[in-house]
């Protein structure tokens, strides 16, 4: 029997598969598409996702193929300087097209032993107390101990579970594609600068080799969302919005996206889980979708591995929904707000002008940007210490740096006192004695996802905390 089947070979599913396999879990990824998509739905990674790649020793692969840009203009396109004091050592957005991200995550997963089956479409499932049976389009049946649906906004897994997906349908469509332009770069940039004074959802961005990513508001909402727009439709909307079609021709691909906003009522039914777009969809404002899905996987992966490894404490799997559902709800709210702020309605434009003024205050600017880049998240662990529940940013240590110590995906006791112990949990928690001028606490216990579970210097308190996240001590 397979330990975990992941339905969906996008960034959420591939990240989850890698996290599970890192802990020795037998993982199979089922992807219905026979070939990787060339459509660039996401253009980059924000700080928290960059931190995740750093924590697993993968970041250099992405930095080699990506481009760093300042963190500005990501909240409703309001262009304010990058705020000071962001709580991360990665104070940039990494521009990298999603097909490249998919490829790098797939290569990593295969390197460590994940099996990826392309052209394998899940069409049904049943489960009992011990396993899940998955039915494929070719009538094949597979058994697994757990199933995770990472199969997108139209998730077959979610529908098979009967999980409700409440929210709002698409009210505004946007067209996008990769095309060649006859207009010069200078012309394109001049038009962009003028149009984006009032319309954020229009313009063209150079990708290199004469190819541009072009975006324009659609004339209406498509009846069949699976049908891509035509080049002529895109050109007409560019003219209507920007006054020119830039001489667009030779499309590589064309697509559309809407502003539907929905969230699954439950992230878990028995032995089946939902993650990424299968659990939540929202407008792409701020570029949060791919990042949110990868962060779901980073939260769920170690918990599933702990359960399969036999050491998970009671209720650990339920903390996945308890922690991640509120995070996605907050993202849905901020994207709803951003969609309102880019509306041309006079009232919305008045609110936009007011918020633009407020963002001149660095605290406001930083607060909104940290929402987008997900470094302000704090899970509720029931502690009055503000650090507990937050992820700890990468910090330089005397003999290393924090994220270099987390490549194996284990828990970590970072001990500046040298007086503490994780005896009984050493098979799942690393104990590192090291110091940093940037840390103002004696010691911190970190979960495998980097969130702080405890801070202090009292061994009895530490010993009481360890079982909550790492199960019973090994005798």
SS (H, E, C) 116-180: EEECCCEEEEEECCCCEEEEECCCCEEEEEEEEECCCCCCHHHHHHCCCCCEECCCCCEEEEEEE
Place of tokens 């969906």: 8
CA-to-CA distance for 473 and 467, rounded, in angstroms? 7
Identify the CA nearest to 8 among candidates 341, 225, 214, 293: 293
**Is there a contact between 313 and 67 (Cβ–Cβ < 8 Å)?**
no
Q: Where in the chain is the domain with CATH 3.40.30.120?
A: 402-470
**Is there a contact between 370 and 397 (Cβ–Cβ < 8 Å)?**
no
CA-to-CA distance for 272 and 99, rounded, in angstroms? 27
- Could you tell me how far CA 53 lies from the centroid of its own chain? 11
Torsion of the alpha carbons at 422, 425, 430 and 436, rounded to the nearest 10: -30
Query: Helix, strand or coil for residue 235?
Result: helix
Strand partners of residue 256: 175
CA-to-CA distance for 356 and 339, rounded, in angstroms? 15
174-257 has which fold?
Alpha-Beta Plaits (3.30.70)
**Is there a contact between 240 and 252 (Cβ–Cβ < 8 Å)?**
no
Structure token digits, residue 458: 């009292």
Q: Where in the chain is the domain with CATH 3.50.50.60?
A: 2-168+262-373
CA distances from 261 to 122, 215, 293, 304, 329 (A): 25, 20, 15, 28, 10
**Is there a contact between 259 and 283 (Cβ–Cβ < 8 Å)?**
yes
Q: What do you get for the CA distance between the two ends of the chain, in Å?
A: 29
Identify the CA nearest to 59 among candidates 67, 69, 51: 51
pLDDT per residue as tens, the chain (475 positions): 999 999 999 999 999 999 999 999 999 999 999 888 877 777 899 999 999 999 999 999 999 999 999 988 889 989 899 998 899 999 999 999 999 999 999 999 999 999 999 999 999 999 999 999 999 999 999 999 999 999 999 999 999 999 999 999 999 899 989 999 999 999 999 998 888 877 888 889 888 888 999 999 999 998 887 788 999 999 999 999 999 999 999 999 999 888 899 999 999 999 999 999 999 999 988 889 999 999 999 999 999 999 999 999 999 999 999 999 999 999 999 999 999 998 889 999 999 999 999 999 999 999 999 999 999 999 999 999 999 999 999 999 999 999 999 999 999 999 999 999 999 999 999 999 999 999 999 999 999 999 999 999 999 999 999 999 999 998 7
DSSP for 22-49 reads HTT--EEEEES-SS--------EE-HHH
Structure token digits, residue 129: 């107390």
Identify the CA nearest to 340 among candidates 360, 355, 328, 318: 355
CA-to-CA distance for 374 and 48, rounded, in angstroms? 6
Element (H, E) at 392: none
Q: Where in the chain is the domain with CATH 3.30.70.2450?
A: 174-257
CATH number given to 402-470: 3.40.30.120
DSSP 8-state secondary structure symbol assigned to residue 73: S
CATH number given to 2-168+262-373: 3.50.50.60
CA-to-CA distance for 215 and 154, rounded, in angstroms? 23
Structure token digits, residue 249: 């021709």
């Amino acid at each position: 029997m397979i330990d975990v089947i992941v339905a969906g070979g996008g960034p959420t599913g591939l990240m989850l598969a890698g996290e599970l396999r890192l802990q020795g879990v037998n993982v199979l990824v089922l992807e219905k598409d026979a070939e990787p998509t060339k459509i660039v739905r996401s253009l980059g990674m924000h700080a928290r996702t960059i931190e995740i790649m750093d924590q697993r020793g993968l970041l250099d692969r992405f930095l080699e193929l990506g481009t760093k840009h300042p963190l500005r203009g990501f909240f409703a396109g309001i262009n304010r300087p990058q705020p000071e004091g962001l709580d991360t050592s990665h104070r940039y957005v990494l521009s990298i097209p999603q097909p490249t991200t998919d490829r790098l995550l797939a290569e990593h997963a295969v390197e460590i032993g994940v099996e990826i089956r392309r052209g394998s479409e899940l069409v049904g499932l049943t489960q009992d107390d011990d396993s899940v049976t998955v039915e494929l389009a070719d009538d094949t049946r597979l058994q697994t101990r757990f199933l995770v649906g990472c199969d997108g906004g139209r998730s077959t897994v979610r529908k098979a579970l009967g999980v409700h997906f409440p929210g709002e349908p698409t009210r505004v469509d946007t067209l996008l594609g990769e095309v060649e332009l006859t207009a010069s770069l200078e012309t394109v940039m001049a038009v962009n600068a003028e149009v984006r004074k009032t319309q954020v959802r229009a313009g063209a961005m150079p990708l290199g080799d004469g190819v541009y990513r072009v975006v324009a508001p659609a004339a209406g909402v498509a009846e069949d969302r699976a049908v891509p727009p035509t080049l002529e439709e895109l050109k007409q909307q560019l003219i209507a919005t920007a006054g020119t079609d830039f001489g667009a021709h030779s499309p590589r691909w064309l697509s559309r996206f809407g502003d539907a906003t929905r969230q699954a009522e439950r992230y878990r039914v028995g032995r089946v889980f939902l993650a990424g777009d299968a659990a939540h969809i929202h407008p792409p404002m701020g570029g949060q979708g791919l990042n949110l899905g990868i962060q779901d996987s980073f939260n769920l992966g170690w918990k599933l591995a702990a359960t399969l490894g036999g050491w998970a404490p009671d209720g650990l799997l339920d903390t996945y929904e308890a922690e991640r559902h509120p995070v996605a709800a907050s993202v849905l709210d901020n994207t709803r707000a951003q969609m309102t702020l880019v509306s041309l309605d006079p009232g919305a434009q008045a609110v936009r002008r007011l918020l633009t003024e407020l963002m001149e205050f660095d605290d406001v600017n930083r607060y909104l940007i940290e929402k987008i880049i997900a470094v302000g998240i704090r899970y509720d662990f029931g502690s009055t210490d503000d650090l507990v529940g937050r992820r700890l940013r990468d910090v330089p240590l005397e003999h290393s740096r924090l994220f270099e110590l987390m490549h194996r995906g284990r828990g970590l006791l970072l001990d500046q006192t040298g007086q503490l112990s994780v005896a009984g949990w050493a098979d799942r928690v690393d104990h590192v004695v090291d110091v940093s001028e940037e840390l103002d606490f004696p010691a911190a216990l970190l979960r495998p996802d980097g969130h702080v579970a405890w801070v202090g210097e009292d061994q009895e308190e530490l010993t009481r905390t360890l079982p909550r996240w790492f199960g019973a001590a090994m005798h």
